[in-house]
Structure 1
Amino acid sequence: MPVQSHSRAAQVAYQDLKRLHLDEAASLVIGSVEERRRGERVYLYDKFRLGTEIRSRYLGEATPELRARIAQAATLKAEGEARRKSMARLARVLRAEGFMAPDRDTGALLLAFAKAGVFRLGGTLIGTAAYGLYQGELGVRFDSEELAQTGDIDFASFERLSVALDDRVEESPDQILQALKFDPVPGIETRQVWRWRQSSGEALVEFLTPAFGDETIKPLPALGVSALGLNYLNYLIAAPIPAIALYRSGVLVQIPRPERFAVHKLIVADRRRGGPDHAKSRKDRAQAEFLIKVLSDDRPDDLAEAYEEAMRQGPRWRARLDASLSLAPETAERLQGVL
């Protein structure tokens, strides 16, 4: 099936809406900006007084883009009302242009998590919920089958980042989930909770974190949750990007880079093949194939770099990639064509 692009107007509207949401986030700075170095990385904090107490609020890694926005915080704050009206208008434009929106329950959950600071503090939306948001990043249309939800809403974050940030969400995810009628699902062996199931539906929310060997439960103190460690996940959530979920006037979230998502899906598809999640394996491969088809035409250098990085990780990684690509010869040919 040929790839269909969104109109130029829709692509411009999406980029404008994302920019306005990033401006809105920067406008919330109320104190002085503090820099903290962790190894080779520099993180920015909003340092302010609350009563007699000095507090710090994590803003993000010190990129040139974030620094530039923070420098304009006062101006952005003054433009708040006009900006929010523009955000509502752009969201209407995107709906009229056929952008797919999350269902009501998923949208409400993402909005509550965003307000609590889950994405600001390193949380990354992954899985099919993230896949659907590439319609804006890549400017392409997805059909209903491609966006069919599995019922899972997955979030991932690095344990070391969560420990290093020295900041916490403003409301814990378990409180949010309970308010949205999700029940905790304790692990069979440890009784630790890293996933919640919707009491009146099929949605399952899971928190995950990279593992490097044993796949055990680990704490994510910045997010106030525990998470299941999974191998290969460190590759997926490295250098995530902002995206907009089209709920209300849009929700600013964080998702993996599309080229990493595509390559990681090939790995996950092989892990699941022949097991209890075999049906998900086919869906993983289909998502990878579609993204690789788009990226090989539109962003071949990004795709090549992501694929080569995964292949350098070692024989186990290469074996899983080769196994999935043996079932998708056209995709394998596309990958070879960008190298």
Structure 2
Amino acid sequence: MPRHSPIAHAAYHDLLRSLLEEHAGELRGTPTRVARGGKVYWYDSYRVGTEVRKSYIGEDTPALSERLARHAAIAADAKDLQRERARLIRILRAEGFMGLDATTGSLVAAMAKAGLFRLGGTIVGTHAFRLYEGELGIRYRLDDTAQTDDLDIASFERLSLAVEDETAPPLGEVLAGFAFDPVPSLEVNATWRWRQTKGNALVEFLTPAFDEEEGLRPLKALGVSARALHHLNYLIAEPIAAALAYRAGVLVQIPRPERFAVHKLIVAARRSGADRLKSEKDRRQAAFLIEALAEDRPDDLREAYEDALSRGPRWRERIAASLERLPATRARLEELG
């Protein structure tokens, strides 16, 4: 499998670390811990006149707590960190990183600035697949496996309800600024898709379905509705941070690569009719990532595969149906033991 150089792989992870540092250094006030629903979240609490406002930072982790403890020092070094990120991105471009195109990059950067990823949004679909280039250090071919005009964003409805944020603008306003219009749905005042007026680009919002019906659900924190889908809870559990090599870097969130690969096997078997070409694309993305992960992260891949198989006969049937068409990939998974 083609790989980027160790220099490029190190540059990507240095870029990601710097973006995570910057995120912790952008506080307006004081980091505050809030316990809710058995979990702990961090907020930036600051005054506007006589009012105290809160901006959501993220769910508590040891790494986030450590960075927040150093937020003043990080803020003082902000300009140096930005210059260093620009240098790292030049290295990635020189090494042939695919990244995202400028149009998509500018849209994702605007959504990040509006708080999309801070509030729990996770990029899924082909744009997430492309971002594994840096996470795994693998070199992509510029073929239809990695091409799309669509941007898919997923988030948990329960996280969206738990999070309180008084600073994020509605994402519909952000999309309107990039000439995206809402696509009407059957439910009144429930928009989950936006289409660009001067192109083919489509932005869709998704959320896991925990019952039989795959309808629409509100994502309160993001100010949009989302289409509920089965199996999506498996995909976006425990997402990871990723760096978009656009301008001085953009911090986003994507699924874990091993979950993405196994989920693609499931999704491919669900598609039918006009979506058969997408099924082939799903299988190729799954096969590509499983080959890479079997070499570098076999334990993570085995755990994700066994987790999916344990979730019931329908999950196993769909995975088996896709692997029937991918004998080499099936053999790779069987070798994991």
Q: TM-score, normalised by structure 1?
A: 0.96
Where does residue 97 of structure 2 map in the other structure?
99
Task: Choose 163-172 or 91-100, whichever is displaced more.
Answer: 163-172
Answer whether contact 1:114 1:253 (CA < 8 A) is retained. Answer: yes
CA drift at 1:40? 3.5
- Cα drift, residue 188 of structure 1: 3.8
Residue pairs, 1:164-179, within 5 angstroms: 164-167=162-165, 170-179=168-177
Match of residue 151 from structure 1: 149
- Partner-residue secondary structure (3-state), 1:109: helix
1:76 to 74, 81, 101: 74
Shift of 1:243: 0.5
2:57 aligns to what SS in structure 1?
strand
Instruction: Measure the CA separation in 2 of the matches of 1:169 and 1:52.
Output: 16
Q: Please give the secondary structure, in 2, of the residue aligned with 1:122.
A: coil
Tell me how far apart the structure 2 counterparts of residues 147 and 49 of structure 1 sit (CA, whole Å): 48
SS in 1 for 2:221: coil
> 8 Å contact 1:118–1:169 — kept in the other structure?
no
8 Å contact kept, 1:240–1:254: yes
Dislocated runs of 4+, deviation >6 Å: none
Listed as ranges, the gaps of 5+ residues in structure 1 are none
Task: Give the 5 Å matches for 1:231-310.
Answer: 231-272=230-271, 274-310=272-308
Whether 1:118 and 2:116 are equivalent positions in the alignment is yes
Match of 1:82, as an amino acid? D
1:89 aligns with 87
Aligned to 2:330: 332
Find the aligned partners of 1:168 and 1:228 in 2 and give their Cα distance.
Answer: 25
CA distance in 1, matches of 2:330, 2:61: 35
Deviation at 1:73, TM superposition (A): 0.4
1:190 deviation in Å?
A: 4.8
Q: In the TM superposition, what whole-angstrom CA distance separates every residue of 1:105-161 from its partner, at most 9, and x where no partner exists?
A: 211110000000000000000000110000000001000015542321000000000
- Give the Cα separation in 2 of the matches to 1:28 and 1:312: 42
Where does residue 228 of structure 2 map in the other structure?
229
> Are the aligned partners of 2:214 and 2:229 in contact in 1 as well (CA < 8 Å)?
yes
Inter-partner Cα distance in structure 1 for 2:267 and 2:38: 30
- Quick one: structure 1 residues 227 and 171, their matched pair in 2 at CA, closer, same or farther if it must change by over 3 Å? same
Aligned AA (1:265): K
C-alpha RMSD over aligned residues: 1.2
Task: Read off the aligned partner of 1:335 and give its amino acid letter.
Answer: L
> 1:169, 1:222 within 8 Å by CA — same for their partners in 2?
no
The aligned counterpart of 1:206 is 204
Percent identity over the alignment? Answer: 55
TM-score, normalising length from structure 2? 0.97
Contact between 1:242 and 1:252, CA under 8 Å: does it hold in 2? yes
Alignment partner of 2:110: what SS? helix
Distance 2:213 2:36 in 1: 26
Any conservation in 1 of the 2:264–2:282 contact (CA below 8 Å)?
Answer: yes
Using the TM superposition, give the Cα deviation of residue 187 of structure 1 relative to its aligned residue in structure 2, in angstroms.
1.3
Q: Which whole-Å CA distance do the structure 2 matches of 1:72 and 1:321 have between them?
A: 45
Counterpart AA for 1:334: R
Which SS does the other structure have where 1:276 is aligned? helix
Distance 2:145 2:266 in 1: 20
The reply to whether residue 13 of structure 1 matches residue 32 of structure 2 is no
Give 1:166 shift. 1.4
Tell me the CA shift for residue 191 of structure 1: 6.3
Separation in 1, partners of 2:196, 2:28: 37
> Aligned partners of 2:202, 2:139: CA distance in 1, in Å?
26
Matched letter for residue 45 of structure 1? Y
Gap runs ≥5 in structure 2: none
Whether the aligned pair in 1 keeps the contact of 2:145 and 2:285 (CA below 8 Å) is: no
